[in-house]
């Protein structure tokens, strides 16, 4: 449950937020669509949010990779590539 909630948060909140705040820091985008920046209270706020969200995304990536490692790296990679899960014994 916690894992699913985290994935939802990462995909639907953190990624859109980092893209949005990233675009808000672009002068071209900001002048064409000022509302993109004003909802965050200015470019400096967008920069702060961008930075903290990117730290969370980096943490998520690290934990995600550690979990894949603990779950059996070879099995998981085979499952991702072939679509079959757990048919073989683990070697690593
Ligand atoms: C469409 C996606 C993105 C856009 C358009 C974008 C845009 C930008 C821009 C324009 C800056 C310079 C900010 C400045 O002038 O200080 C910046 C800084 C930065 N970006 Fe992104 N970015 C994007 C995605 C990401 C992602 C996915 C990450 C990491 C997970 C990330 C991490 C950072 C960091 C750590 C900085 C430096 C922060 C700082 O200067 O305080 N960005 N980004």
Ranges of H-type helices in 1-92? 2-9, 15-24, 27-32, 35-38, 43-70, 73-82
- Residue 89 falls inside a structural domain: no
Mutate to test the pocket of ligand 1, among 30, 54, 61 (most ligand atoms within 8 A of CB): 54
Tell me how far apart the alpha carbons of residues 69 and 89 are, in angstroms, rounded to a whole number.
16
**pLDDT, mean of each 10-residue run, the chain (92 residues):** 94 97 96 95 96 98 94 90 73 54
Looking at the domain assignment, is residue 91 inside a domain?
no
Q: Residue 48 falls within a domain, yes or no?
A: yes
Is residue 53 within 8 A of residue 14, CB to CB? The reply is: yes
Q: Is residue 92 part of a domain?
A: no
Closest ligand 1 atom number to CA of residue 25? 10
Determine, yes or no, domain membership for 36. yes
pLDDT at residue number 84? 87
- CA–centroid distance, 32 to ligand 1, in Å, is 19
Residue 34 lies in a domain: yes
Distance, in Å, from the CA atom of 36 to the CA atom of 88, rounded to the nearest integer, reads: 50
Residue 74: which domain range? 2-82
Cβ–ligand 1 distance for 51 under 6 Å, the answer yes
In the structure encoding, which two tokens stand for residue 20, read together?
Answer: 């949005």
Contacts of 22 (CB under 8 A, 6+ apart): 50
Is residue 13, in this structure, part of any structural domain at all? Answer: yes
- Do 47 and 63 touch, CB atoms closer than 8 A? no
The pTM assigned to this predicted structure is 0.84
Q: How many independent structural domains does the chain possess?
A: 1
Q: Is residue 59 part of a domain?
A: yes
């Amino acid at each position: 449950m916690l894992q699913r909630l985290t994935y939802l948060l990462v995909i639907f909140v953190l990624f859109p937020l980092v893209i949005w705040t990233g675009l808000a820091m672009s002068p071209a985008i900001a002048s064409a669509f000022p509302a993109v920046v004003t909802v965050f209270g200015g470019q400096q706020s967008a920069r702060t949010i961008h930075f903290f969200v990117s730290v969370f995304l980096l943490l998520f990536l690290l934990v995600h990779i550690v979990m894949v490692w603990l779950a059996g790296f070879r099995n998981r990679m085979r499952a991702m590539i072939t679509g079959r899960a757990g048919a073989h014994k683990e070697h690593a």
